[in-house]
């Protein structure tokens, strides 16, 4: 299983998404708490809105 931090934010009226892999659920929660400070530095501006959540996912392969 993989834990990811999922972030959705609105910048200049457009929606964007990010997914960042975390080492585990505890680290993901810490990253989520730091999102308000880190996100503006990462995107270069303050977003009009953002939401962040941790999720545990199981990777799988599909036929192409």
List the domain range (segments joined by +) for residue 11.
Answer: 2-52
| Distance in angstroms (rounded) separating the CA atoms of residues 62 and 47 | 35
The pTM assigned to this predicted structure is 0.83
Residue 15 and residue 8 in contact, taking contact as beta carbons nearer than 8 Å:
yes
What's the distance, CA 57 to chain centroid? 13
Structural domain contains residue 18: yes
Radius of gyration from C-alpha coordinates of the chain = 13
**Domain presence at residue 57:** no
- For 4-44, what is each residue's pLDDT tens digit? 999 999 999 999 999 999 999 999 999 999 999 999 999 99
> How many domains does the chain fold into?
1
In a domain, 40, yes or no: yes
Q: Please provide residue 18's backbone torsions phi and psi, each rounded to the nearest 5 degrees.
A: -135, 150
Both tokens of residue 13? 């009226």
- Position 6 in a domain: yes
In a domain, 39, yes or no: yes
Residue 62 lies in a domain: no
């Amino acid at each position: 299983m993989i834990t990811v931090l999922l972030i959705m934010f609105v910048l200049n009226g457009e929606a964007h998404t990010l997914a960042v892999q975390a080492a585990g659920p505890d680290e993901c929660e810490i990253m989520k708490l730091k999102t308000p400070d880190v996100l503006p530095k990462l995107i270069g501006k303050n977003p009009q809105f953002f939401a962040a959540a941790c999720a545990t996912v199981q990777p799988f392969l599909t036929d192409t």
